[in-house]
C-alpha cells in the first residue's frame, strides 16, 4: 500500500508539472516539462541525501567524536532491524532532526546540537527512533522528490511570469493559462507536498514509539522541540523552505494549524495520539534497545554531543546543575511517566 501511495503521489506531481508546462508552452511545453520532471526524479533519487545534508551544513560523526549520540542511533537501528545509517550533526541551536536517503541501505539521520543539548537521553532516543521509522517506511525518498518537484513547479510559475506572456508559444489558453501557471499550480503543488508530510508524520510517530518502546518519550520530545522551534530561528531552513517538511517539527515560523496548509500535523494532536497509544499499552515498562550505552554514575563527568567532556565537573550536592545533553532529569513536562533505561 505504501509503494502504491508513493507511485500515485509521484504520478500526480509529474502530471501537475506537465500541466504547468502545457499552460505555458502548449504541447511542446508539456513534453519539455515531462522530460524535465523525469530528469529531476532521477537526479533526486541518487542525490537527495547529499542535497539536503549540504543545505543544512551537516557534519558526519561516528563513535569517536560523538560516542553517545552514535551509540543511541546504532542501538535503535538494530532494534528496528535496519542497517546503521550515516549519522550527522547540524550546528544549530534550534532543537530538530530529520532523515534522508533513497533507501534504508543509503540512509542518513541528522540531529541538531540544540536537540542534544535541550533534550534528555530518553527524548533523544525517541526522536531518532521517529527518524528511523521514516527510513523504514521509505518516506525520505518520496518526500524529497515531492519537495523537489514542488520547487520546480514554483520555478515554472516564475518562468511564466517573466516569459510566458511575452511571445506566441502555442499556448491554447493564452494569458489566462500563464496566470494559472503563475498562481494556481505552485499553490496546488504546495498542498500536495504538505499533505504528504502530514500523513506520514503520524505513522512515523507510531512506529518510532514502538522502536524506542515508550510513546511518552516522544510526546515529551515533541513538546520541547515545538517550543524551541517557536523561539529559535533556523536560518538554513528559512533559506530553503521546500525542505521544511523533512524535519520532525516544522523549523519555520508560523503554520501550526492541523490542516492542509501546514507542513506538519499540530504538535498537540501528535502528542495526544502518543498519549492514547501509551494508555492502550497500559503503561508497560519500556524495553531498552539492545546494546544501549549504560549511563554513567552521577558523580562522573558527562560527554557532550561532540564526544568532549565539559571543562569542569558539575558541583556536588542535590542542587547541582544537570549536565547536557544527557541530563539525568525525567522526561518532560507532560507527565511522561517513569524514567526509562537511559535515566
Q: Decide if 298 is inside a domain.
A: no
Which of 16-30, 128-142, 244-258: highest mean pLDDT?
A: 128-142
H or E segment and range at residue 159: helix 139-159
Summarised one tens digit per residue, pLDDT across range 222-237 is 999 999 999 999 999 8
Q: Decide if 184 is inside a domain.
A: yes
DSSP for 272-293 reads HHHHHHHHHTTTPPPPPPTTPP
Q: Decide if 249 is inside a domain.
A: yes
The pLDDT of residue 6: 65
Q: Decide if 248 is inside a domain.
A: yes
The pLDDT of residue 83: 97
Is the pLDDT at 334 greater than 50, yes or no? no
The pLDDT of residue 218: 97
Instruction: Give 282's pLDDT tier (boundaries 50, 70, 90).
Output: low
Region 281-307 average pLDDT: 41
Instruction: Give 133's pLDDT tier (boundaries 50, 70, 90).
Output: very high
Region 83-112 average pLDDT: 95
All cell numbers assigned to 43:
537526479
Domain count, the chain: 1
Instruction: Give 331's pLDDT tier (boundaries 50, 70, 90).
Output: very low
Range in 41-55, 246-260, 272-286, 309-323 the model is least confident about: 309-323
Q: Decide if 226 is inside a domain.
A: yes
Identify the CA nearest to 204 among candidates 192, 217, 218.
Answer: 218
Cα torsion 297, 300, 301, 307: sign: negative
Q: What angle do CA 236, 124, 315 make, to 5 degrees?
A: 105
Q: Decide if 107 is inside a domain.
A: no
The pLDDT of residue 276: 94
| Residue 151, domain extent | 2-51+141-280
Q: Decide if 272 is inside a domain.
A: yes
What is the spatial distance between Cα 211 and Cα 84, in angstroms, rounded to a whole number? 14
DSSP 86: E
Active site residues: 131
Q: Decide if 329 is inside a domain.
A: no
Which residues are documented as binding site?
A: 130, 134, 201
Instruction: Give 292's pLDDT tier (boundaries 50, 70, 90).
Output: very low
Which residues are documented as binding site for Zn(2+)?
A: 130, 134, 201
Amino acid at each position: 500500500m505504501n509503494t502504491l501511495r508513493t507511485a500515485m503521489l509521484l504520478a500526480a506531481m509529474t502530471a501537475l508539472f506537465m500541466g504547468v508546462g502545457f499552460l505555458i508552452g502548449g504541447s511542446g511545453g508539456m513534453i519539455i516539462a515531462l522530460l524535465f520532471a523525469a530528469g529531476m526524479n532521477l537526479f533526486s533519487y541518487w542525490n537527495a541525501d547529499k542535497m539536503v545534508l549540504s543545505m543544512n551544513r551537516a557534519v558526519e560523526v561516528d563513535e569517536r567524536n560523538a560516542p553517545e549520540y552514535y551509540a543511541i542511533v546504532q542501538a535503535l537501528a538494530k532494534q528496528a532491524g535496519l542497517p546503521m545509517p550515516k549519522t550527522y550533526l547540524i550546528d544549530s541551536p534550534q532543537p530538530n532532526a530529520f532523515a534522508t536517503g533513497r533507501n534504508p541501505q543509503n540512509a542518513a539521520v541528522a540531529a541538531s546540537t540544540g536537540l542534544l543539548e535541550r533534550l534528555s537521553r530518553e527524548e533523544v532516543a525517541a526522536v531518532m527512533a521517529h527518524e528511523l521509522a521514516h527510513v523504514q517506511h521509505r518516506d525520505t525518498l518520496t518526500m524529497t522528490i515531492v519537495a523537489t518537484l514542488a520547487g520546480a513547479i514554483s520555478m515554472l510559475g516564475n518562468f511564466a511570469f517573466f516569459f510566458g506572456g511575452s511571445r506566441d508559444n502555442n499556448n491554447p489558453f493564452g494569458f489566462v493559462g500563464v496566470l494559472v501557471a503563475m498562481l494556481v499550480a505552485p499553490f496546488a503543488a504546495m498542498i500536495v507536498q504538505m499533505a504528504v508530510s502530514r500523513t506520514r508524520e503520524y505513522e512515523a510517530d507510531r512506529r518510532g514509539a514502538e522502536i524506542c518502546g515508550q510513546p511518552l518519550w516522544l510526546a515529551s520530545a515533541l513538546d520541547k522541540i515545538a517550543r524551541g522551534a517557536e523561539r529559535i530561528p533556523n536560518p538554513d531552513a528559512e533559506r530553503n523552505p521546500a525542505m521544511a517538511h523533512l524535519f520532525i517539527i516544522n523549523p519555520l515560523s508560523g503554520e501550526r494549524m492541523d490542516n492542509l496548509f501546514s507542513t506538519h500535523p499540530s504538535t498537540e494532536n501528535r502528542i495526544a495520539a502518543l498519549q492514547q497509544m501509551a494508555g492502550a499499552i497500559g503503561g508497560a515498562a519500556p524495553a531498552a534497545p539492545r546494546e544501549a550505552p549504560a549511563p554513567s554514575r552521577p558523580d562522573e563527568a558527562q560527554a557532550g554531543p561532540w564526544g568532549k567532556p565539559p571543562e569542569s565537573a558539575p558541583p556536588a550536592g542535590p542542587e547541582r546543575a544537570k549536565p547536557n545533553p544527557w541530563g539525568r532529569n525525567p522526561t518532560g513536562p507532560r507527565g511522561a511517566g517513569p524514567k526509562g533505561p537511559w535515566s
